[in-house]
Amino acid sequence: MKRDIFIGGAWPYANYFLHVGHLAALLPGDILARYYRGCGDNVIYVSGSDSHGTPITERAKKENTTPEKIATYYHEEFLKSFNKLGFTYDKYSTTMSEHHNEYVKKQFLKLKENGYLFEKEVPQDYCEKCHTFLSDREIVGTCPHCGKESTGDQCEHCTTSLDSSEVLNKHCKTCGSPTVMKNNKHLYFKLPAFQDELQKLIDKNKNIWRKNAVGEAQKYIDMGLVDRAATRQLEWGVEVPVKGYEDKRIYVWFEAVLGYLSVGCEVAEANGINFDEFMSDDNKNLRTYYVHGKDNIPFHTTIFPALILGIKNNYRLPDYIISSAYVNLNNSKMSKSKGNMITANELLEIVPRDTIRFYFIMNGPETNDVSCSIEEIIQCHNKFLVGTLGNFVNRNLSFISKKFDGKITEGKIDEDIIKETEKIYQVVGEHIEKGEFRKALNSIVEYINLGNKYYDTCEPWIQVKEDIDKFNDTTYTCVYMMANIANLIAPICPDGSTKIKYILSLPEFKWEVENISGDIEIKDLELLYNRIDNKN
């Protein structure tokens, strides 16, 4: 029976390029999507650009442009990068889309009807000259810690995060007038109402979610859940569908996570699937995956489930939380301000995308923070993709090309190898489904190593002179392994997989044992991967 698989990749914030930190955190989503599609299951794999909020608004002001222009520019850059990396989203959207805006407004009203949004008056800094309430970032004042000038949210001199109420001598950043306190009304989300259900969710999934997800979610609940402001004094974002809130927008934390559902629903509709039934908690065939970095854990393990519970649509709460740790660069933390980030595009100019995907699964931040460097990525490419995988395919096929004009004669496939092959799909599949991608890839590499060892032990270069039948059996067994390697690596290294399949005229990728038969003609043989010289 076909399974229903929902995969939500985190929404990168549209004010910078896609970098290797994003890449490492998001890649598991594409591995899952390709794998489950290969199994023949119904997959909905979605993501998009998080395009609203204060940082984009602030930047637009600084650069004398509009938030929409900035968000659109980076959204298009994200799209290009994801395409180049081979991500197979069913839809990659943006929170700027009309569909998303309408969807969010509808859910917002449902929550209000269900009694989980309430109005509260809160004193907020106001500029009487600009006639506007000011967000923390729109305030300048004196830092209470070092006495130097800071904004309302952070002091750049002593790098302390601040609350605007601590800042002294506050002024409006735009016009310089002193600020006054004035009551402002906002809508708040009753997050604490879901405390018990969220605790149950953590308990239920404590062996399924990643360890860091269970830990962070529990920590977040133990700190005490508080009502969260669901509206903001801002012009850029999803409008609040409530009278009297025309000058405010829905808070980004609220609307961005609902993007999974707004885009999921769009994809379902386009494919004639009833999304309510697909996502229903009663759908026993359903598995949901949420793929992101560890800084996003509270949003996916508590806030998003609370929103689903509050909307009361009976949707499944997250089954699998695939939350990655961080990637450091040459052992130091990557940051935009330090200027030591590698973007996906920069990396794609140095190594093929298969290598990037292979490397960040093999050495990815699956269980703890990792450090990467360009040198290590190139080393990995030369060692595994060229030395192990490429070598296995090339040594066999180039021999046949030279000696037999590219014609592979049918032989008897080794019984032990057949048994190993039938087993390996099971082992790798289980790892992938559990989100244990490194283990999955290690098992695949072991299988390729087995092929190389088999080749060395059989010594076909001697067999060819002494016993041609044995030589044909050895070669055919190796080709059988290649055909299956092409399936096994397809979710991680799609280009290598496609190349093997082309050379050997094999059918499209499916997650099942590939049984070859008859003679096979080698087509346009070339190296799977070229060695890269490390010039650094």
Contacting positions for Zn ion (CB under 5 A): 127, 129-130, 143, 145-146, 155, 157-158, 172, 174-175, 177
Least Å distance between CB 443 and Zn ion? 52
Least Å distance between CB 140 and Zn ion? 11
Number of neighbours of residue 98 by Cβ within 10 angstroms: 7
Q: What is the rounded distance in angstroms from the CA atom of residue 344 to the CA atom of residue 332?
A: 18
How many CA atoms lie less than 13 Å away from 177 in the CB half-sphere?
14
Least Å distance between CB 54 and Zn ion? 17
Q: What is the rounded distance in angstroms from the CA atom of residue 495 to the CA atom of residue 500?
A: 9
Nearest to Zn ion of 184, 398 (CB atom): 184
Least Å distance between CB 174 and Zn ion? 5
Q: Which two tokens mark 143?
A: 């830092």
Least Å distance between CB 336 and Zn ion? 21
For residue 217, give every residue at least 6 positions away whose Cβ sits within 8 Å of its Cβ, in sequence order, or none.
Answer: 198, 202, 209, 297, 298, 301, 302
Nearest to Zn ion of 58, 295 (CB atom): 58
In single-letter form, the type of residue at position 184 comes to N
Q: What is the rounded distance in angstroms from the CA atom of residue 500 to the CA atom of residue 362?
A: 21
Least Å distance between CB 42 and Zn ion? 54
- Name the DSSP letter for residue 295: G
* Sheet with 228-229, edge to edge strand ranges: 132-133, 117-127, 180-189, 228-229
Nearest to Zn ion of 57, 328 (CB atom): 57
Q: Is 273 exposed, middle or buried (0-12, 13-18, 19+ CB in 10 A)?
A: middle
Least Å distance between CB 143 and Zn ion? 3
Least Å distance between CB 135 and Zn ion? 12
Least Å distance between CB 158 and Zn ion? 3
Nearest to Zn ion of 152, 435 (CB atom): 152
User: What are the φ and ψ backbone dihedral angles of 23, each rounded to 5 degrees?
Assistant: -55, -50
- Return the H-helix or E-strand segment holding 121: strand 117-127
Nearest to Zn ion of 146, 468 (CB atom): 146
For residue 220, give every residue at least 6 positions away whose Cβ sits within 8 Å of its Cβ, in sequence order, or none.
Answer: 297, 298, 301, 302
Least Å distance between CB 264 and Zn ion? 42
Nearest to Zn ion of 77, 138 (CB atom): 138
Nearest to Zn ion of 146, 181 (CB atom): 146
Nearest to Zn ion of 160, 382 (CB atom): 160
Least Å distance between CB 77 and Zn ion? 34
Least Å distance between CB 179 and Zn ion? 8
Nearest to Zn ion of 182, 423 (CB atom): 182
Q: Where would I find the H helices in 65-204? A: 67-85, 98-113, 195-204
Number of neighbours of residue 464 by Cβ within 10 angstroms: 17
Q: What is the rounded distance in angstroms from the CA atom of residue 97 to the CA atom of residue 295?
A: 25
Number of neighbours of residue 24 by Cβ within 10 angstroms: 24
Nearest to Zn ion of 130, 427 (CB atom): 130
- Return the H-helix or E-strand segment holding 521: strand 520-521
Task: Name beta bridge partners: 160.
Answer: 155
Are the beta carbons of 239 and 76 closer than 8 angstroms?
A: no
- Name the DSSP letter for residue 280: B
User: What are the φ and ψ backbone dihedral angles of 370, each rounded to 5 degrees?
Assistant: -130, 160
Q: What is the rounded distance in angstroms from the CA atom of residue 330 to the CA atom of residue 340?
A: 10
Task: Name beta bridge partners: 473.
Answer: none
Are the beta carbons of 475 and 454 closer than 8 angstroms?
A: no
Nearest to Zn ion of 172, 441 (CB atom): 172
